[in-house]
Amino acid sequence: MRSAVLAATVDVLTEHGLAGTTVGAVARAAGVHETSVYRRWGTREKLILEALAEQLDAALPVPDTGHVRDDLTAYFGTLARLLATAQGEALLRLSVERDDTLPDRRLPYWTERLERGAVMVRRGVERGELAPDTDPGLVIEAVSGALFTRALISGAPLDEDLACRLVALTLAGVLPRNRAYRPD
Amino acid sequence: MRSAVLAATVDVLTEHGLAGTTVGAVARAAGVHETSVYRRWGTREKLILEALAEQLDAALPVPDTGHVRDDLTAYFGTLARLLATAQGEALLRLSVERDDTLPDRRLPYWTERLERGAVMVRRGVERGELAPDTDPGLVIEAVSGALFTRALISGAPLDEDLACRLVALTLAGVLPRNRAYRPD
């Protein structure tokens, strides 16, 4: 039942948008009882968040080309494209909404997503492509944070070129080339 | 009248939170007619956004120490502290809400905020502290995006140390030290 309901949720979202995605509409599309959906997911928001999250992970594979720059550029290029779609934006918007009557499950959810991305950076460190003291999660947060902010807050355009420039920035920094880094 | 109403808005927000900040409550606190507030700002959301934005700019000065790292560390340390407050979070949350009946004013608003920050990076380039091909806005987006994402989406903690590490990341990158950058 779980996967049928989640797939139906994505279908209803695609066709009717966020406002039209009620538990009733999803239950009808999945051919299950509305009460079963409420029993399992509790709220419409949690149902939609879980459905979109599954879809996001499936649509955002973690590449392993053997080169950290290529991996990150491909990964964040895909993320930029996804966030520019209505479904990607819906996932982010739902993540921003909080339901104070329920335990806040956003932090574990996003920590898991962050860890998925950090694997690429960690492999780069292991291969000696990146400095040994690199903070893998911080690299992912800097690039994805800029993409999320455009999608959610500023409304500025999102494309693969932006993702590529953000990856280059976090890898190489902006200090003059050939100037050794001096920690202060 | 404008500054009295904006100051009253911040007062009401601080005392009664977002839900309690109605146009009526603000008008009473400022000693003006509710209709005057609607005439000038149109919606409650625009009123609150403008009030918080003014407060944000006032609370987030752009330093000019003569050193780009010190400027950015101070600026983003202050931003991290602000975003951890209820008012800072409220500003971000309101920026995420969109009112489809009105022209989307978020992009010009956030472009202006971004430009305020980019000035610090541009000065660093002019002083020769940063590479001549540095994209000033991108540096600001990478650091602030990570901070905004923690405040809005993941709920992960925000502090000055995080801001400091993000600034170091975007300045120096994560390539091994002393290895020349090779654009591909």
CATH code: domain of residue A19: 1.10.10.60
Say how far apart CA A143 and CA A135 lie, in whole Å: 13
A23-32, A146-155, B107-116: which has the minimum mean pLDDT? B107-116
By the 8 A CB rule, do A123 and A64 touch? yes
- Between B180 and A45, residue with greater pLDDT: A45
Say yes or no: B36 and B69 in one domain.
no
- Put simply, whether A17 touches B (Cβ < 8 Å) is no
**Nearest-neighbour CA in chain B from A27: distance (Å):** 28
Is A70 inside any structural domain?
yes
> Are the beta carbons of B176 and A128 separated by less than 8 Å?
yes
| CB nearest A149 (choices: B104, B129, B141) | B141
For residues B154 and B83, membership in a common domain is answered with: yes
Contacts of A101 (CB under 8 A, 6+ apart): none
| Chain B residues inside the 8 Å CB shell of A118 | none
pLDDT value at residue A118: 97
Report if residue B55 sits inside a domain: no
| Domain identity same for B86 and B36 | no
Please write the tens of the pLDDT for every residue from B151-179.
Answer: 888 888 999 999 999 999 999 999 987 65
**Res. B95: pLDDT tops 80:** no
For the residues A32-51, what does the mean pLDDT come to? Answer: 90
B105 pLDDT band (50/70/90 cuts)? low
> Has residue A95 got a pLDDT over 80?
no
Residue A35: both structure tokens together: 């009460």
> Are both B84 and B163 inside the same structural domain?
yes
pLDDT for A45 beyond 90:
no
pLDDT at A178: 60
Are B88 and B121 found together in one domain? yes
Size of interface A-B (CB pairs under 8 A): 161
Q: Looking at the domain assignment, is residue B28 inside a domain?
A: yes
Question: Does residue B48 have a pLDDT over 80?
Answer: yes
Are residue A81 and residue A152 in the same domain, yes or no? yes
Set of chain B residues whose Cβ sits within 8 Å of the Cβ of A110: 153-156
Q: What is the mean pLDDT of residues B50-76?
A: 92
Structure-token match 């969109």, residue found = B98
Structural domain contains residue B49: no
Q: Which positions 76-115 of A are in contact with B (Cβ < 8 Å)?
A: 92-93, 95-96, 104, 106-107, 110-111, 114
What pLDDT shows up at residue A80?
95
Task: Nearest by CB to A146, from B131, B141, B155: name it.
Answer: B141
Same domain assignment for residues B102 and B13: no
The more confident residue out of A172 and B15 is A172
- Of residues B87 and A167, more confidence is placed in A167
The residue segments making up the domain with residue B159 are 60-172
Q: Which structure tokens are listed for B183?
A: 């654009």
Tell which wins on pLDDT, B16 or B82.
Answer: B82
Taking contacts as CB-CB distances below 8 angstroms, the residues of chain B near A142 are 142-143, 145-146, 166, 169-170
Domain assignment present for residue A54? The answer is no
**pLDDT score, position A143:** 98
The reply to whether B101 and B161 lie within a common domain is yes
* Cβ–Cβ gap A169/B166 under 8 Å: no
A1 within some domain: yes
Q: DSSP for B105-172? A: -HHHHHHHHHHHHHHHHHHHHHTTSS-TT--HHHHHHHHHHHHHHIIIII-----HHHHHHHHHHHHH
Task: Indicate which CATH number applies to the domain containing B91.
Answer: 1.10.357.10
Q: What pLDDT sits at residue B16?
A: 82
Tell me, yes or no, whether B5 and B69 share the same domain.
no
Question: Which pLDDT belongs to residue A183?
Answer: 45
**Same domain (yes/no): B81, B38:** no
Q: Is residue A180 assigned to a domain?
A: no
Whether residue B51 is contained in a domain is answered as no
Percent of chain B predicted with pLDDT > 90 = 57
